[in-house]
Structures are given as C-alpha cells and as structure tokens.
Amino acid sequence: MIQRITKTQQGEQMTHTRRRVGLLAGVLVTAGLLAACGSDDGGDEARAGITLAVNPWTGSAVNANVAKVVLEADLGTAVTFTEIDEFATWPGMDAGDIDAVLEVWPSGHAADYEQYIDGKKSVVDLGLLGPEAKIGWYVPTFVVEQYPELATWEGFKDPELAKLFSTAESGADLGQFLMGDPTYVTYDEQIIANLGLPLKYVVGGSEATLIETLKTAVADQKPVLVQFWKPHWLQLELPLSEVKLPEVTEACAASAAAGDGGYACDYPADALYKAASAKLEEKNKAAFDFLKKFQLTTEQQSEIAGYVDRDGMAPLDAAKKWVEANPDAVKAWLG
Amino acid sequence: MSTTVPATPTERPVPLRSLDRVVGIWVGLGVVVGAVVLGTLVFGIDVPSWFDNHLQQWSKSAYGWTVDHRDDYWLFVFVFEPISTLLDTAVTTVADLLALLHWPGVLTLVGFTAWRVGGRSASVASVLSLFAIGLLGLWEPAMATMAIMVVSVVLALVIGIPLGVWSARSDRVDQILRPLLDTAQVMPTFVYLIPLVVMFGIQNPSAVLATVVYAVPPAVRLTNHGLRAVPTVIEEVGVAFGGTPRQRLLKVQAPVARPTILLGLNQVIMMAFGIVVIAAIVGTDDLGRLVLNTLQKNDIGAAAAPGVAIVLAAVALDRMSTGQRAVRRASRAPSALSRLWAARSIRDRWLIAGGTVVVVAVLSALAGADEFPEAWKVTIDGPVDAVLGWTKEHLRSGVPVIGGTQSISDALITHVLEPLRSWLVSVPWLAVVGGFAALGLLLGGWRLALLVTTCTVAIASMGEVPGGEGGTTAMWDIAMDTLSLVLVSIVISVVIAVPLGIVAGRSRRFDRALRPLLDFAQVMPQFVYLIPVVALFGASRATGVVAAVVYAVPPAIRLTSLGLQEVPVPPREAATSFGATSRQELIKVQLPLALRSILLGVNQTMLMVLATVVIAALVGAGGLGLQVIYGLTKSLQQIGQGVAGGLSIVLLAIVLDRLTQAWGDRADPQRRQ
C-alpha cells in the first residue's frame, strides 16, 4: 500500500489518463485503510446483539420497538433494525442476517413457511403474536347508507346495483371489484364466479393504488368495492364498511386447501405469528426465549399504533411510553 | 451495384439484387400467409394448452434448490459469498469515507471534482444539489444512497465500457451481447430481486448487483454506438499515420466518440438512481427506504422530499462526471482560475486538492459539524400536498373542451386500449406471429423474419397461469394485453419526444432548460408521482400509459437532440451556402443525417416502455407486469410465473427492438449508398 502511495505521488510524467487511474488508486488505498481501521471492534458485552426485521407497516414497527425497549433495558441485548420487504425477510433469516421478525401474516407466507420452517428448518416458528387480522370485501360507508342491501353479498346480485361500481376497466355492464396488492391472498375471482355476481375482478396492483382509489372515491362520493383488511391505519381515517360474505364452511376451507377453484365464502381470520432464524437460540438464548413469550393483544397493538399514526410519535418513543405504563405485561414476557 | 443490368443510357438501370429482393419478399409473404392458415387449422385460434416449455416449473425447482443449497454448494460458498463480502465492504467503505469527510468536506470534494471535470456551472450545480439535500434534512440517507450508487456506477462502467469497445470492434460480439443487454435492461428487477437476496444476502450486495444489471446496458450500447459512428475518414487518418489499434482507440476513436460515451455515463447514472426505490426492497437504509415507507402511508407530501433528494443526488453525481465542459472542452477559452491551475505541477495539484478537502473535513470535525444543521431544514410536504390537492380537485373533470383526466382516461381505455387488446387476443395467435414475421421480412429479410417468429412462438410456449375465466389464462393472452398497452405508449411517447428533441437539438438554450426536467422525469421515483396520477386517471391501464410515457420520453428526446447536434458542420455549411433556409437545412440535411440517432431514440423509447411494464401494473395496468409481481412475492409458489412473465416482456422487447433497428438501418443514408 505504501508503495502505491509513493507511486502516485511521483506521477509528474503521468499522462492524462494515468492521472485518473492515480486518483482511483488513491481512493482505493484510503478506502482500504479505512476498512482496516473499521473492523477491529471486539465484542465483550454480555450478550450478542440481535437484528429485528421491520416491515413497512406500523404494526411491524410497533412490535419491534416494544421488543427493543425491553431487550435493551432488561436483557442487555442491543437491538438493531433492518427495514426490509416482508418477502426479502425470509432469505435474510435463513442466512442469519436477520434474527427475527415479530409479525408475519400467514396468508401471504404459506410458501415461505413450507420452504424455510418445515423444509430447510433454518427458520423457526416463535408462536402467535396475538392480534388477528381479517381480509374482506369493503365499500365506503356512504354506499351502505344509501343502499342498505349492499351490506351483504346478496345485494351485488342485482345487476343494476352492481353497475354503480362500473368503470372504464370493468366495462359498462359489470361492476368493478378492485384488488390491491396482488401478492396478498385472494379468493375474490373465485368468490365472484361461484356466487354468480355481475362483477369484474380488476387488479390495482399495489396497496398504494388501492388506498388512493378509496380516498378519491370517498372524496367524490363514488361507489367502489375493494378487498381490504383489518388492522389498517386507513380504517381510522376513512369510514369503510365490510360487506358480509357467506360464512366460512368446512367445504370452503377444503376447497382453499385443494386449490380447486370452488371457494365461495368469507376469508378466515389470519392469526399473526412470529418467526426467528434457527441460529438465534444459540447466539442469544435469553433473547430467543423472550421473543417466544412476547405477545401483544389487538388492543395493545392498536393503542401503540395510534400513538404513531394518530399522534405522530416516533415508534421508539411510543414503545417507551407504553412499556413504562405497562410493567405487568413486560414482566410476563420476562418471567 | 456492380451487378446492374446493362441498360440504354436514357433508362435508369434496374438493380438485379433489388428485383430479386422484391420477388423474394412476395414469395416470403406467401409462405407466411400459407403457414398461418395451415397452422391455424392444425393448432387452433388459441394457443393449445400442451404447448408449454415448462419454464415455470423449472424455475420453481431451480429456486427451491438454490434456497436449500445456498450454504453448501461450492458456487455460493466460494464465489458468491466473497463477491457479496467485497461489495458490502466497498459500499460501507465509501459510506465511511463520506462520513469522515463531514458534509462540508463532501461539498468541497464534489465541487472541486465537478469544477475540474465539468467546469464552473457543473460545479455550482452539483454543490447546490447536495446542499439542497441537506436543507431537506436528508443528508444522512442521501449519503447512504450515494455510497451504493458510487459503487454501482463504477462497477457498471468497469464492466460496460470494455464490453462496449469490444462489441464496437467485433460484429459477432455485438450480436451476442445485444440480446443479453436487452434482457438486462428489460427483465424486470422484481424477477431476480428475491433470488439475488437468496444468493448474495440482504442489503448492500443485492442492491448493488440489481443496480449494476440495470445500469450496464447504456454504458455498453452508447460506447459501442459512439465508436461505430466515428467517420471512416477520421479512422483512416489514424491508420495512415501508422497508429496501433490501441493508439487509434485511445487517441482517435475515443475522443471523437466522447460525447456519446459521456451520454452513456449520464444514462448509467440516471438508470442507477432510477432503481434506488426498488433496491430498497432488499433492506437498504437510505432514501429509497424513506420513499417506500412514506408511500406505505399514502403520504405523497412526505414521499416527495426523499424523491426529490434522489433526483438531486443523481444530478450532483451526473454533473460531477459529465459536465458540458467535458463535451466541449476544446471550444472554450480557459478561465483565469483554470489557467492558474494549469500552471501548477501535478503534484501541487494533488496536494492542493487533497489538502483543501482534508482541511475542510478536519475543521468540520473540530467544529462538530457531524450532521447537517437541523435549523436550516426546509419542509416541502405542505406545498406539495397543496399542489396535489388542487390538481386532483380541478383537473379530474370540468376542464373546458377536453373534459378532464377522468374522461380522457375513460376514452383511452374504451376506444383505444380495450379494442386493440381484444382484437389482439381474438385473432388467431399464429396470425399475430405471422404479422410480425411479415414485418420482419419487409424490414430486414429472412433472418429477421425467422428471429421474430422464434421469439413470438417462444412467448406462446410460456404456458398457462392461474386466474381469469375458467381458472387459467394463457401467457400469450396476457402478453397481447401488454402488447396493446406498449404499442399505444410508444406511439404517444414518440409523438411527444421527437418534436421536443428536434427543438432541443437546434436550440442549445432549450436543451439546457430541458435537461433538469428530463433528469427529473427519469430519476424521480415513479411511484411518488404515479399515486396522484391514480387519483386523476383511476387504477387503470391509462395510468399505466402515463407511467410509460413519462419514463420513455427523456431518452428519446436526448438521443434525437444529440443526433441533430452531432451532424457534422460541413454538410450544414454547404446547405447554408446553397442558400437553404433554416427549415430546409433541418429537413433536407440535419434530419436525414440524424435519422439513425433519432431511430435509436425511438428504439430506446420502446425499451423504456417495456421497462415500465411492472410499474404500470402497480397502478392498475395488469398484464405481464402483474405476473412479475406475483413472482416477486409469492416466492416459491409463483416464482415461475414471474420468470415466465419477465421473459415474455424481454422477448416482446427483442421483437420490437429488432424491427425498429432494421427500420433504422434501412433509413441510414450511409448504408443506402
């Protein structure tokens, strides 16, 4: 390295292009030195630090921050976050770059569960988080107020009522059913076909598109029918009503499992769960045991999410506030 | 022309080859029509369900295997793992270096480099851009983005420029590389993003690799294009003076091709920054992540700031490396400062430059300037939301004459997109294949016809996917859906871009005024401005068209204007001396000579449109883009769907690319002679 530095310095006769190379070499040398300096931080703390995945929704940030507050205060475990897509989280846990994720929506990750938890066993199931999520069909509340028969799916059998929902994409004869993010679980196309509804299934493509459509519809008082879910921050902001679909039956569940296209009822509830890298137990047993016991009720999670979404608090501050006010809950996770 | 039929002096000679060609084309068209009719009778109007290349199943098992063996297979352990570590080290090192310099040091370094490379205005532009990022309160995440981008751009150039030189020298290399570059440019990042994570790990390595794949093609293409466009006369001078190939490349070709190669660098940077938000999916902690997080809350006002910061960072890096002065270095008298600088020895220059940066960095460290002063922070949420609110309220309907965006959207879907789509789906699939084959025959000849046929048939062989009436849909029908959207978007883009490019090519001032706007359109994360567009045009294909047009117009304008500017002075002067008006000069001299470049612009437009197919699907356009999104996220279950959908997009791109390219070659005056 020193040789290279002297070489660059005696470059009087260097040609124009050489000078550029010299610059690059200079940067590289400096870079190398810096890298060498940066890598000697030995770890003599009591427990290995862990990395939690934070997926891009409030609930995920709430869980991770509450866990961080307790882990750092009571278990001497430093917690860092990796903000990452929910699907990229799994190969991250597989490699051990991410130690745990505290909120997985089961409906979207059946394949990951099969691949990493059942198959390769590089990820372990940490049990339920507590809250249950529920997907369903939604309309803005003003629609139900104007047309009470649209509170249940049977109302949509009427072609005239269905046409209230028509757009250029659905054509004038059918109503539009809008699906948001196509990666979320969906039986809507089957439900429409099997219940014989005069609706056209249109994929908006993303949650953001879905939300923008809902907001515009409410602002314009124009009916729209969408797939949506709870818990979601938008539910606090916009008056939305769930359309009642036929009760979940065993036949429905069987059809979903078989994938035979015969699904014709409501969505089952999604019990959110936690998962960790298989390497975590060895790396930091105390943190592993804690995360296994870690649970929040729906009410607790929404309370903290409210601090963030409604009051504009930073997730970490919201978590601290809640942890201070709820020592009993924390004790249960540690005991 | 040596084989012309002897003819009487008064008659024009009829070239035999051209007669052959005409007959050949008619015979060829006959064969195509016959094959289509016969094929349709045998195989039917729809793609038969047995016609399936099993790519979907194959990708699924390949992916599953990779997941299971990433810790024990030699390739992953001994090749990918070190690459991953190296890339991660490179990014963190650049990031550490930037942090060590503190923000005043970074500004000094950037301002200085930009001044040397691009001149005073470039220096001012890049420093102001970075300063503005600081004002937005986004200095730290911006430096994280910068670190990833610097590594990616350098890597893209290290790979791209040699490949460009190589393919300029060898037609065979050029031919082999072209489909690969098309694939790299058009294959949606979503298809390989999660597999990249599986092979190279989360965060920096995967982000860099995804960016490099996407940013390499313009480096190769424009280097190649620039070197090939070096006039033969100039080349021959180099040969006459006895230059070795290496000398000719460095001393003759490279300087002449410099503007085009620099445009290549500009495009590499723009492409790289264009992918910042998508790269954030794999867990980078930077501007892209901020955009994703705010979009999740549908908070466009808050997403605007990191979005704008991405544009500013791109502008800073671009102006620093490809300033105007680098293009016209020779044509301007050096300023007093430059003369003073030139009088120093090289060692002095190094000492002064390095010294200044170090001194500034040390002073900043002493002054505790670790973070950009919070007190200076400016927020733009309010104004952005106000403008958006006004737009949504007033443009959607009730605009005199045109109605409003809602009625434009409805008309575009009902009267253009839907009829075209249902027509393409309803005609026998072999007729579509035959149509492309006939076009290939007319524009290029047998070989092109064969290539186009192979590619379209390959799309038909992608099998079926879940969804649609009856539970499954043929990938072919989905591809036709996308084709209709793509064709409409290309036409609209070209209609907008070529006239603007012509004006920009003739007026330097307009060109300069347009440049930041083009950078903005190309780099501003599309999602940030498309979500408001959803409010205007609905979750629909019309919004998809807007996405494609906004993204595809900039390169077409750039290439058209560059083509006009590159027309050598002698022919233009000749025209002027013959008394041609400015308009005549444009139409008779400049445009024909620039046609190749303009058609390259059209060609790029098309590739850009195809590159936005996925983004378009995110705002309601459906089609192949949607298949790709399924592939990204339902990981194992539907990864095959994503691969097959992505490859169909690439195949469509290759078909359209080769056809426009052949058209461009026919229009090339040099080849016609």
* Digit-coded pLDDT (tens) for B493-548: 989 988 888 888 888 888 888 888 888 887 888 888 888 888 888 888 999 999 89
Cβ separation A85–B467 shorter than 8 A: no
Residues A227, A186: contact at Cβ < 8 Å? yes
- Residue A15 pLDDT more than 50? no
Q: How far is A208 from chain B (nearest CA, A)?
A: 6
- What pLDDT score does B670 carry? 54
pLDDT in tens, B271-293: 898 888 888 888 888 999 988 88
List the beta strands (DSSP E) in B577-630: none
Q: Highest mean pLDDT: which of A319-328, B77-86, B174-183, B370-379?
A: A319-328
* B283 neighbourhood in chain A, CB within 8 Å: 82-85, 88, 92
- pLDDT for B450: 92
Under an 8 A CB cutoff, do A169 and B413 touch? yes
User: Does B90 lie at the interface with A, CB-CB under 8 angstroms?
Assistant: yes
Q: Residue B538 and residue A183: Cβ atoms within 8 Å?
A: no
Among the partner-chain residues A11, A112, A204, the one whose CB lies closest to the CB of B539 is: A204
Nearest CB to B409: which of A85, A115, A168? A168
Minimum distance, in Å, between the CA of residue B24 and any CA atom of chain A? 44
pLDDT of residue A36: 44
The Cα-based distances of A251 to A190, A248, B446, B483 in angstroms read 14, 8, 57, 40
**B197 contact residues in A (CB cutoff 8 A):** 88, 91-92
Pairs of CB atoms within 8 A across A/B: 188
User: For residues B239 and A173, what is the distance between their CA atoms, to the nearest angstrom?
Assistant: 72
Q: Which of A49-53, A83-87, A314-318 has the lowest mean pLDDT?
A: A83-87
Nearest by CB to A168, which of B97, B468, B540? B540
**DSSP E strand boundaries for chain A:** 50-54, 79-83, 100-104, 123-140, 175-179, 199-203, 225-230, 240-243, 269-277
What average pLDDT does chain B have? Answer: 83
- A183–B471: do the CB atoms touch at under 8 Å? no
With H, G, I as helix, E, B as strand and everything else as coil, classify residue A212: helix
What per-residue confidence (pLDDT) applies to B516?
82
Of A32, A91, A171, the CB nearest to B198: A91
Amino acid letter for position B7: A
A117-142 mean pLDDT: 93
Chain B residue with the nearest C-alpha to that of A308? B297
Comparing A34-38, A59-63, A134-138, B80-84, the range with the smallest average pLDDT is A34-38
Determine whether the interchain pair B298/A208 forms a contact, defined as Cβ–Cβ distance below 8 Å: yes
Q: ω into residue B499 within 30 of 0, thus cis?
A: no
Q: Which of B150, B191, B636, B639 to mutate to test the interface with A (most CBs of A within 10 A)?
A: B636
Which pLDDT does position B503 carry in this prediction?
Answer: 87
In this prediction, residue A152 carries a pLDDT of 94
Tell me how far apart the alpha carbons of residues A288 and A280 are, in angstroms, rounded to a whole number. 6
Contacts of B634 in chain A (CB under 8 A): 108, 111, 183
**Contacts by B355-363 with C-beta closer than 8 Å and gap 24+?**
B356/B108, B356/B112, B357/B101, B357/B105, B357/B108, B357/B109, B357/B112, B358/B105, B360/B101, B360/B102, B360/B104, B360/B105, B360/B108, B361/B100, B361/B101, B361/B102, B361/B104, B361/B105, B361/B108, B363/B104
Query: Quick check: helix, strand or coil at residue A315?
Result: helix
Residue B52 sits at φ, ψ, to 5 deg, of: -145, 125
CA distance B220 to B161: 6
Q: Give pLDDT, residue A35.
A: 45
Which residues in chain A touch residue B89, judged by CB atoms under 8 angstroms apart? Answer: 35
pLDDT grade for B637, boundaries at 50, 70 and 90: low
Q: Is the pLDDT of residue A2 over 50?
A: no
Considering only CB atoms, A56 lies closest to which of B292, B347, B532, namely: B292
Instruction: Report pLDDT digits (tens) over A192-214.
Output: 999 999 999 999 888 888 998 99
Both tokens assigned to B596: 């190749």
Residue B673 has pLDDT above 60, yes or no: no
B9 pLDDT higher than 50: no
Cβ–Cβ gap B539/A210 under 8 Å? yes
Instruction: Please say if the pLDDT value at position A73 is more than 90.
Output: yes
B283 vs A: CB within 8 A: yes
Query: A145 at the B interface (CB within 8 A)?
Result: no
The model's pLDDT over B337-389, given as tens digits with 9 standing for 90+, comes to 777 777 777 777 777 888 888 888 888 888 777 778 877 888 887 788 888 88
How far is the C-alpha of A104 from the C-alpha of B382, rounded, in Å? 35
Tokens representing residue B401 in the block: 């004459």
Q: What is the pLDDT of residue B633?
A: 66
Q: CB–CB of B201 and A19 under 8 A?
A: no
Tell me: pLDDT of A19 over 50.
no
Q: Which residues pair with A82 in a beta bridge?
A: A53
Q: B289 to chain A: nearest residue by CA? A: A83
* pLDDT tens for each residue of B311-342: 999 988 888 877 554 445 444 556 677 777 77
pTM metric for this prediction? 0.83
HSE of A42, CA atoms in CB hemisphere, 13 A: 1
| Inter-chain residue contact B202 with A178, CB threshold 8 Å | no
Chain A CB contacts of B70 below 8 Å: 94-95
Taking CA–CA distances from B286, the nearest residue in chain A reads A83
Q: Which residue has the tokens 């040789």?
A: A3
Q: What is the three-class DSSP state of A228?
A: strand
Max intra-chain CA distance, chain A:
87
**Residue of chain B minimizing CA distance to A207:** B296
Distance CA B22, CA B19 (A): 5
Does B96 contact chain A (CB < 8 Å)?
yes
Give B320-348 as a DSSP string. HHH-HHHHTGGGSPPPHHHHHHHTS-HHH
